[in-house]
């Protein structure tokens, strides 16, 4: 069956070529475990919570069997009054599975549930109709943050109007209201996810709520907002786009999107050696293999004139080299110096070290602590008194160098109990770091987490003045190693990025001295004559028949959710395996900081 679903439509709005790649099952970098994605976003819990607010709602059966779901929906919609969850409506090549559809005679309420937060206490009506926060402040048009969600519900409204001409259709967004606090303890743990199969053997997930439904309804953390003015504003464009996308899918035709700076983060930008079904290669043709590529220029999207991204005009002329960009375009005070340095040192093929780096490193007081946190913002709060999307800090790692020349010591902590971890997290970290020396983070995430915990502690009925005092001291004491790197270091292998995932391989691959140092040598491996990035040497572990490894922060967040709330949450062996993976990943993040620090020291002549 050929159709454009809600997700297809969203992808096509980003770039129409993505629709063709989706429909033809091209591999992509977002292609992750759908189940882990659901867990991480908390979408399944919020979706279930929304359904429970409608006691007479009927779940349309069929799972992913769209034809069965369409037939069943038609049967239900013969009734005068009915509330459906996940009904399937198909018309003119367009298919929607609405989250909640309420039919009352010829009137419909169409509700799209999103695990996104909004401050319900600060909603204002816009003078010309609609909700102010969904619109741009100074220009006509919608706020870009909300536009994809509003386009999603606009597409559904369009399909429903085509299916029921003349009906009154009111579209709503249902969101998490962060101005509300839950009155329910352990709310998160009362939602369970189960893996099921439909009659055709297709796998799908079912959510069970094990708590008190009446209490959940009274507690209601969601807010429903009528978005008809926003939808009416979008509809003329949405209707045209929907018809064009549906026609292309029916004909099996690709609509090529423009080559642009947006291609940099396209999910179909696979490694170039993967030649089969490589969307990026197909879009860019010969320009894909240009090296060094202009898409590697740091903050390329900020190179603008009159709101236009200038690089796009070069791509249109068939120019894609890093050296094709005119230097006079790189005049932004914030980015220009960096961008020019990237081009200069890429041409020279050597690293750049600022003349200030040595003095900067010499000023750091011992012990040196290198810390990294893993955490997530959960859609639903753990405890009574907390709000949606609160910070959950579940793991820290720390490498400490006591004095000049000492090897790094490693310590870590990870929450494995089904309790709110933040205070224990902070206490254990305080005991490890104390108040002496220099504490490094990479990017200010650690600072944000500690400041959030301090805020919780100030509002707590059980204050801990000593911990609070330490947290407040840390707020001003953390040193951002990312900023040191951005201001004082560049290597062409970083390809315009200051992410630790790029800086580490750049220093590691180009400084063989590091490979022999204990304990860095654990991470030294070669494949086909090439030195691997230490992140490529992490051990994989088989969990539920899949070889799992964690190599980045989102993966860590998903692994933690899987360990705590996943299908195998009660299996101690699985629990232990996820713990091992999380610990080895976080330990490498802080070891990476030490390796980079050591590299800098070796380059500026500091014995470390």
- Residue 297 sits at the vertex; the CA angle it makes with 291 and 302, to the nearest 5 degrees, is 150
Interface with ligand SF4 in residues 572-591 (CB under 6 A)? none
Kindly state whether residue 17 participates in binding ligand SF4, applying the rule CB under 6 A: yes
Looking at the Cβ atoms of 97 and 254, the one nearer to ligand SF4 is 254
SS (H, E, C) 497-532: CCCHHHHHHHHHHHCHHHHHCCCHHHHCCEECCEEC
Helix (H, G, I), strand (E, B) or coil at 422: helix
Distance CA 297, CA 340 (A): 9
Distance CA 214, CA 234 (A): 37
Other Cβ atoms closer than 10 A to 349: 9
Nearest to 87 by CA among 104, 105, 66, 106: 66
Other Cβ atoms closer than 10 A to 364: 15
Interface with ligand SF4 in residues 120-179 (CB under 6 A)? none
Minimal distance, residue 283 CB to ligand SF4, in Å: 3
Other Cβ atoms closer than 10 A to 528: 5
Residue range at the interface with ligand SF4 (CB under 6 A); choices 14-22, 64-72, 335-343, 495-503: 14-22
Minimal distance, residue 15 CB to ligand SF4, in Å: 3
Looking at the Cβ atoms of 259 and 357, the one nearer to ligand SF4 is 259
Sequential DSSP letters for 314-339: HHHTT--BGGGS-GGG---TTTHHHH
Count the residues of the shown chain that bind ligand SF4, applying the rule CB under 6 A: 12
Looking at the Cβ atoms of 257 and 408, the one nearer to ligand SF4 is 257
Minimal distance, residue 317 CB to ligand SF4, in Å: 16
Q: Are 560 and 38 in contact (CB under 8 A)?
A: no
Kindly state whether residue 22 participates in binding ligand SF4, applying the rule CB under 6 A: no
Minimal distance, residue 256 CB to ligand SF4, in Å: 7
Looking at the Cβ atoms of 99 and 312, the one nearer to ligand SF4 is 312
Looking at the Cβ atoms of 17 and 439, the one nearer to ligand SF4 is 17
Nearest to 180 by CA among 23, 387, 42, 324: 387
Distance CA 28, CA 254 (A): 17
Looking at the Cβ atoms of 29 and 576, the one nearer to ligand SF4 is 29
**440 strand-pairing partners:** 370, 479
Looking at the Cβ atoms of 47 and 279, the one nearer to ligand SF4 is 279
Residue range at the interface with ligand SF4 (CB under 6 A); choices 15-23, 105-113, 304-312, 460-468: 15-23
Kindly state whether residue 375 participates in binding ligand SF4, applying the rule CB under 6 A: no
Distance CA 344, CA 352 (A): 10
Tokens at residue 92, please? 């003119």
Minimal distance, residue 25 CB to ligand SF4, in Å: 14
Minimal distance, residue 20 CB to ligand SF4, in Å: 8
Looking at the Cβ atoms of 13 and 598, the one nearer to ligand SF4 is 13
Minimal distance, residue 295 CB to ligand SF4, in Å: 10
Kindly state whether residue 15 participates in binding ligand SF4, applying the rule CB under 6 A: yes
Cβ partners under 8 Å of residue 317, min gap 6: none
What is the contact mask toward ligand SF4 in residues 253 to 292, using x (rule: CB under 6 A)?
Answer: ----x-x--xx--x-x----------xx--x---------
Minimal distance, residue 14 CB to ligand SF4, in Å: 7
Distance CA 127, CA 398 (A): 52
Residue range at the interface with ligand SF4 (CB under 6 A); choices 10-18, 49-57, 239-247, 340-348: 10-18
Sequential DSSP letters for 243-260: HHHHHHHHHT---PPPP-
Looking at the Cβ atoms of 178 and 269, the one nearer to ligand SF4 is 269
What is the contact mask toward ligand SF4 in residues 215 to 254, using x (rule: CB under 6 A)?
Answer: ----------------------------------------
End-to-end CA distance of the chain: 64
Looking at the Cβ atoms of 18 and 599, the one nearer to ligand SF4 is 18
Strand bridging mode 107-118 / 168-177: parallel
Looking at the Cβ atoms of 17 and 543, the one nearer to ligand SF4 is 17
Residue 116 CA to its chain's centroid (Å): 13
Tokens at residue 5, please? 């679903």
Minimal distance, residue 97 CB to ligand SF4, in Å: 25
Strand bridging mode 88-91 / 81-85: unpaired
Minimal distance, residue 269 CB to ligand SF4, in Å: 6
Kindly state whether residue 296 participates in binding ligand SF4, applying the rule CB under 6 A: no
Looking at the Cβ atoms of 263 and 449, the one nearer to ligand SF4 is 263
Kindly state whether residue 18 participates in binding ligand SF4, applying the rule CB under 6 A: yes
Minimal distance, residue 119 CB to ligand SF4, in Å: 33
Strand bridging mode 58-59 / 81-85: parallel
**546 strand-pairing partners:** 543
Minimal distance, residue 16 CB to ligand SF4, in Å: 8
Query: Residue numbers of the site for ligand SF4 (CB under 6 A)?
Result: 15, 17-18, 257, 259, 262-263, 266, 268, 279-280, 283
């Amino acid at each position: 069956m050929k159709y454009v679903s809600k997700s297809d439509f969203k992808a096509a709005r980003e770039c129409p070529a993505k629709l063709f790649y989706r429909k033809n099952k091209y591999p992509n970098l977002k292609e992750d475990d759908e189940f882990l994605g659901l867990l991480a976003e908390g979408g399944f819990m919020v979706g279930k919570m929304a359904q429970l607010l409608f006691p007479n709602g009927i779940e349309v059966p069929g799972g992913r069997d769209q034809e069965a779901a369409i037939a069943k929906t038609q049967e239900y919609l013969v009734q005068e009054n009915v509330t459906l969850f996940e009904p399937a409506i198909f018309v003119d090549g367009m298919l929607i599975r609405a989250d909640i559809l309420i039919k009352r005679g010829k009137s419909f309420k169409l509700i799209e549930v999103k695990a996104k937060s909004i401050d319900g206490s600060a909603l204002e009506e816009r003078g010309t109709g609609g909700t102010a926060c969904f619109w741009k402040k100074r220009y006509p048009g919608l706020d870009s943050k909300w536009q994809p969600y509003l386009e999603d519900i606009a597409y559904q409204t369009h399909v429903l109007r085509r299916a029921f001409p003349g009906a009154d259709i009111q579209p709503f967004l249902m969101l998490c209201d962060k101005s509300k606090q839950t009155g329910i303890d352990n709310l998160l743990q009362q939602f369970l996810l189960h893996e099921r199969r439909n009659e055709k053997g297709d796998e799908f997930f079912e959510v069970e709520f094990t708590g008190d439904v009446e209490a959940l309804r009274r507690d209601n953390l969601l807010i429903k907002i009528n978005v008809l003015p926003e939808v009416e504003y979008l509809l003329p464009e949405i209707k045209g786009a929907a018809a064009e996308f549906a026609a292309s899918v029916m004909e099996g035709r690709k609509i090529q999107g423009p080559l642009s700076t947006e291609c940099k983060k396209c999910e179909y930008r696979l490694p170039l050696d993967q030649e089969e079904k490589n969307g990026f290669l197909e879009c860019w043709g010969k320009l894909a293999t240009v090296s060094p590529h202009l898409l590697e220029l740091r903050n390329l999207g900020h190179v603008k004139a009159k709101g236009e991204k200038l690089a796009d005009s070069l791509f249109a002329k068939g120019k894609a080299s890093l050296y094709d960009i005119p230097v006079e375009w790189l005049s932004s005070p914030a980015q220009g110096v960096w961008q020019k340095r990237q081009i200069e040192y890429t041409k020279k093929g050597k690293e750049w070290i600022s003349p200030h780096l040595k003095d900067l490193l010499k000023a750091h007081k011992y012990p040196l602590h290198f810390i990294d946190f893993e955490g997530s913002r959960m859609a639903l709060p753990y405890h009574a008194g907390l709000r949606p999307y609160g910070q959950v800090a579940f793991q820290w790692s720390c490498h400490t160098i006591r004095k000049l020349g000492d090897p790094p010591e490693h310590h870590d902590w990870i929450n494995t109990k089904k309790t709110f971890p933040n205070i224990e997290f902070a206490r254990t970290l305080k005991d490890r770091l104390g108040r002496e020396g220099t504490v490094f983070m990479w990017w200010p995430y650690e600072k944000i987490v500690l400041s959030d915990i301090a805020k919780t502690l100030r509002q707590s009925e059980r204050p801990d003045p000593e911990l609070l005092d330490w947290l407040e001291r840390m707020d001003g004491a953390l040193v951002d190693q990312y900023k040191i790197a951005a201001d004082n270091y560049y290597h062409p292998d970083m390809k315009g990025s200051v992410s630790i995932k790029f800086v580490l391989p750049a220093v590691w691959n180009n400084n063989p001295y590091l490979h022999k140092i204990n304990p860095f040598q654990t991470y030294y491996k070669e494949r086909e004559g090439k030195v691997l990035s230490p992140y490529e040497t992490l051990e994989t572990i088989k969990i539920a028949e899949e070889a799992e490894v964690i190599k980045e922060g989102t993966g860590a967040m998903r692994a933690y959710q899987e360990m705590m709330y996943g299908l195998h949450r009660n299996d101690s062996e699985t629990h232990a395996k996820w713990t091992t993976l999380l610990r080895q990943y976080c330990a490498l993040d802080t070891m990476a900081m030490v390796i980079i620090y050591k590299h800098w020291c070796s380059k500026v002549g500091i014995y470390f």
